[in-house]
Amino acid sequence: MQRIAFLLYPGFQVMSLAAASVFEFANIGVREPIYDISYVSETGGRIVSSIGMAVETIAFGDPALDTLIISGAPAEVVPTEGERRFMQAALAASRRLASICTGAYFLAHAGLLDGRRATTHWSVARDIQTRFPRIKMEEDRIFIIDGPVWTSAGMTAGVDLALAMVEKDRGIDLARAVAKKLVVYHRRAGGQSQFSALLEMEPKSDRIQNALAYAKGNLRTPLSVEQLAEAAHLSPRQFSRAFRSETGQSPAKAVENLRVEAARLMMEEGRHSIDVVAQETGFADRERMRRAFLRAFGQPPQVIRRNAQRDSLA
């Protein structure tokens, strides 16, 4: 049985423990439990979370676990010397060491991310990069695998991280079954953006929301302003003015952002050629898609795919 331990500390965030449900349902999905889940802390006993809920923990013991997962917190928490030593010993003795959200601070303070690719919650990624310049921080990733060290973005990205672990351990079928039980998408690729184009725009009126929903469902078509205006039940002139007022973008830029988001996901999944991805997402040809990727990510589609493949093989 694989021992999975969550390292908790005063003020940890309960949302980090959502990842434990992934391992719980993996156990339910097989005849014999494959994961032994525990919660550890330096002192043992009750550890109170940021929301006031307490979790009973056991004191640090044998660091030779299968996986040690560091929970996140609403703000930076610096590990104690005991916590540093335990994490360092766990990295040497265990198969995997992981952090969820701001748990990356713990790994950074212990020097365990030096020279490695890593990610964390977007709101603190640049602070970590500035303070720990030896880390190769990639702030717009859901999760990253660099050798035995796994890091994830904030909140629900810990579930994506845990699903990826189950997939590595027992295959995609079990990971899919767990995701279905948890009613979550199986699974966001590690390289997927932490941001959503639709959420970034935050349209206020139903009319503009309807136009964007229409655009997202019809990316393969040219999507003229006239089409979008019709979906919003406005004249083209009214639509363009209202769209920019609500989203801060022109309709053309918004459509490009939706296309880039859809194309990036298809590139990461790796099931289609670049030409097919360009056609299916409405770019018409690979060169137009390449230019859009460079504007959005500073990288061409091939690099996005290569990074996703590297993560899947790690």
pLDDT digits (tens, 9 = 90+) for 117-156: 999 998 899 999 999 999 999 887 889 999 999 999 987 8
Distance CA 314, CA 191 (A): 13
**pLDDT at 306 (0 to 100):** 83
Look at residue 215 and tell me whether its pLDDT is greater than 70: yes
* CATH class of this structure's domain 197-313: mainly alpha
DSSP bridge pairs for 200? none
2-182: CATH, from 2.40.50.140, 3.40.50.720, 3.40.50.880, 3.40.50.450: 3.40.50.880
What is the percent of the chain with per-residue pLDDT over 90, rounded to a whole number?
A: 71
**pLDDT at 228 (0 to 100):** 96
Q: Is 101 left (phi over 0), alpha (psi -120 to 50) or beta?
A: left
**pLDDT at 222 (0 to 100):** 92
pLDDT-based confidence at 270, cuts 50/70/90?
Answer: confident
φ, ψ of residue 254 to 5 degrees: the values are -65, -45
pLDDT tens across 60-101, in order? 999 999 999 999 999 888 999 999 999 999 999 999 999 999
pLDDT tens across 27-41, in order? 999 988 899 999 999
**pLDDT at 174 (0 to 100):** 93
Angle at 170 between CA 188 and CA 262, to 5 degrees: 15
The ranges assigned to domains in the chain are: 2-182, 197-313
CA atoms within 13 A of residue 56's CA, in its CB half-sphere: 0
Distance CA 42, CA 160 (A): 27
Angle at 13 between CA 8 and CA 15, to 5 degrees: 110
φ, ψ of residue 55 to 5 degrees: the values are -125, 135
**pLDDT at 24 (0 to 100):** 96
- Here the tokens at position 42 are 């330096």
Is 100:158 a contact under the CB 8 Å cutoff?
A: yes
Mean pLDDT of 192-204: 64
Q: For the ranges 103-112, 161-170, 196-205, 264-273, which has the lowest average pLDDT?
A: 196-205
One-letter amino acid for residue 36 of the chain? D
Q: Is 113 left (phi over 0), alpha (psi -120 to 50) or beta?
A: alpha
C-alpha of 27 from chain center: 23
**pLDDT at 189 (0 to 100):** 52
Look at residue 283 and tell me whether its pLDDT is greater than 60: yes
